[in-house]
Amino acid sequence: MDRPFDPADWQPTKPPDPRDKDLEPELPGLIATLGAQTERIYRQPYNPSYWVERGKTLQRLRYPELAVADGYKASLLCGAAIDLSIEDPRWRLGFGAGFQVLDESGTTDEQSDVKGWLDRLSSQAEQLVIDNLYYFPQYMHGRNVRKGYPWLSAKHRVRDDDLIEKINGEFAESARWLETECAKYLRARDKLKAESAGPYGILQRHAFGRTPVDADGNSSSSEVLGVFAACDIRKGKLIMADDTRLWGCMGPGSHPSDAMPSTKLGCQDPTHPNLATETAAQNLRWVRDVSSGRSAAQNLLRCRSLITCISDTDPTKDHPLDHPLIARLTPSHPSTKATTFSFDGDIVTPIHCLQQFGIDVFANANCDTWVVFTLESRLRNNSWSNPVHKCVSPLFSLFNHSCDPNVTWNVQYADTTTLELDTIKAVKKGEQLFVMYNGYTCDQPLETRRTALRRWFDTDCQCSLCKHEEANGLYGGTEIKDAERREGDRSESSSEEEDDDDDDESSGDSDGSDSLLHPSACECEFCISSREFFERVRNGEWRADETLREFPEDEDGSFDPEMDCASME
């Protein structure tokens, strides 16, 4: 926020209101003020007045969620200072209110002035919070439109080549791991032949083709990543078991809303939402207890992501947005759709979680609230959920959507946060691997699918099925022939020549705001297999020993590793 930005990049997160006056003439001044106030906070982070002042500027710049957060931090500082002075009236604020000092010389009128000053500041801070919570006093919620903040540095807007290389290492590692697990499983059945495992997927740029390069040699489509088949893969192949450290779970608790409303089920793992390695001081149970239903899982996912960044790096030096698990995620920035933000869930809970894990939320600029909201945009666009968990899986999050996918995703039953990905069609090396984001609409007409996919995409779906239907005017969902679909699939190959020919394809920013959805009603192969998990949960049929799904067998009932791994060297 200390970085000056071009007024042309200013995109307020407050939903537009016809009464809003034109801010353009004031923008340069407001941007300069914001920078100066942020610098002042860096110098004296414990002065509540600086947070109130910056909060007011953020309100004028129409960032309600950030104004609320600054107001809340000011309230915390005022509260702490008032508490101290009540405890012992000799406590007073030190120079510039950056700290408290003990005045041994006795109390004076001056002291009561400081208290008066704190009280006034406290009311201003409270007012700042209230003014920016659109639904106050009915609800402690505000309204905003998810946008990228203009002060976000250039390096936090892109995925660099080093990161892509690292992720491709993870794809290779995941294939190796899978084969080791397969080996264990098969050895137990005495049917294993040793075999090498190559990666099945490889991450590449220009997933939907290239856009023309600009004068600096950059192409906007280079930021659209996708996963492509690294080898020929047969239909029905388990290509990945993607486990994650970024998850949250809900319930069970004493209140019915603590668990999923329809099933009253909650997470059954007695250690959750904590990790076995965490200490009592790191207990996150309170996050689940103060939120209800699905928001518990969402809030915990956010907290766990923050904790992952903190624990893997030096939080005083490293930025959470640099963490490879976060840096890889593409954000969702809907153009116009207003969403709500919760004072408790989106602002208070992350601040307290950061404090619990040792972060000075006033002095550590890397963990300022705008960073938390930026992180949240990325989590929302990449999360998936099952009845009790909300997760972001590191490799799965790089798969693009197709309405005619070649890969299906299911939750592994044992830990319920690991995703298994299987091919549901034979895939040729170089073809893009696609999953379906919203299984509920898989057999719906084009227009219905498009509307549903707006949760994640800023543009229309770029998949071959949608393009084909659009080109043929099939908006009402007329069936198309399988042969035509296959033709479309081939056109999504990642080969350089095809990309080069494909100049007019453009990327799509996401406007997603919710997790990927499992299907419920459709009878297609993809939906039936995805639905399995839900049925098992509802029927209480979780099996802890069920770590990997059964491997496919030959017609005569025996398993043939050659067949399973036919596509690999």
Ligand X SMILES: C[S@@+](CC[C@H](N)C(=O)[O-])C[C@H]1O[C@@H](n2cnc3c(N)ncnc32)[C@H](O)[C@@H]1O
* Binding stretches for ligand X (CB under 6 A): 207, 224-226, 330, 332, 381-382, 397-398, 400-402, 456-457, 459, 461-463, 508-510, 512
If the CB atoms of residues 182 and 463 are measured against ligand X, the closer one turns out to be 463
If the CB atoms of residues 142 and 439 are measured against ligand X, the closer one turns out to be 439
If the CB atoms of residues 344 and 498 are measured against ligand X, the closer one turns out to be 498
If the CB atoms of residues 394 and 508 are measured against ligand X, the closer one turns out to be 508
- Residue 327 C-beta: closest distance to ligand X, Å: 11
If the CB atoms of residues 171 and 456 are measured against ligand X, the closer one turns out to be 456
CA-to-CA distance for 433 and 401, rounded, in angstroms? Answer: 9
If the CB atoms of residues 219 and 462 are measured against ligand X, the closer one turns out to be 462
- Residue 450 C-beta: closest distance to ligand X, Å: 10
If the CB atoms of residues 127 and 459 are measured against ligand X, the closer one turns out to be 459
Structure tokens at 419: 């995703």
- Residue 222 C-beta: closest distance to ligand X, Å: 10
- Residue 169 C-beta: closest distance to ligand X, Å: 17
- Residue 130 C-beta: closest distance to ligand X, Å: 34
- Residue 459 C-beta: closest distance to ligand X, Å: 6
CB 306 within 8 A of CB 367: yes
- 3-state helix, strand, coil split of the chain in percent (to 5) is 45, 10, 45
CA-to-CA distance for 57 and 32, rounded, in angstroms? Answer: 10
CB 69 within 8 A of CB 347: yes
At residue 183's C-alpha, the angle toward residues 180 and 186, to 5°, is 155
- Residue 223 C-beta: closest distance to ligand X, Å: 6
240's enclosing H/E stretch is: strand 238-242
User: Letter for the amino acid at 566?
Assistant: A
Q: How remote is the C-alpha of 479 from its chain's centroid?
A: 35
CA-to-CA distance for 195 and 161, rounded, in angstroms? Answer: 30
If the CB atoms of residues 209 and 266 are measured against ligand X, the closer one turns out to be 209
If the CB atoms of residues 315 and 331 are measured against ligand X, the closer one turns out to be 331
Alpha helices, H only, 44-191:
48-60, 64-87, 109-131, 161-188
DSSP 438-473: BGGGTTS-HHHHHHHHTTT-SS---SHHHHHHHHTT
- Residue 209 C-beta: closest distance to ligand X, Å: 11
If the CB atoms of residues 382 and 494 are measured against ligand X, the closer one turns out to be 382
If the CB atoms of residues 179 and 514 are measured against ligand X, the closer one turns out to be 514
Phi and psi torsions of 503, nearest 5°: -60, -25
| Cα separation values, 33 from 45, 53, 449, Å | 17, 10, 45
CB 167 within 8 A of CB 395: yes
Q: What's the burial of 271, exposed, middle or buried (CB within 10 Å: 0-12/13-18/19+)?
A: exposed
- Residue 567 C-beta: closest distance to ligand X, Å: 23
When CB distances to ligand X are compared, the closest residue is: 510
- Residue 462 C-beta: closest distance to ligand X, Å: 4
| Cα separation values, 296 from 105, 260, 267, 272, 303, Å | 50, 10, 11, 12, 10
Phi and psi torsions of 190, nearest 5°: 60, 40
CA-to-CA distance for 388 and 398, rounded, in angstroms? Answer: 23
- Residue 1 C-beta: closest distance to ligand X, Å: 25
CB 346 within 8 A of CB 65: yes
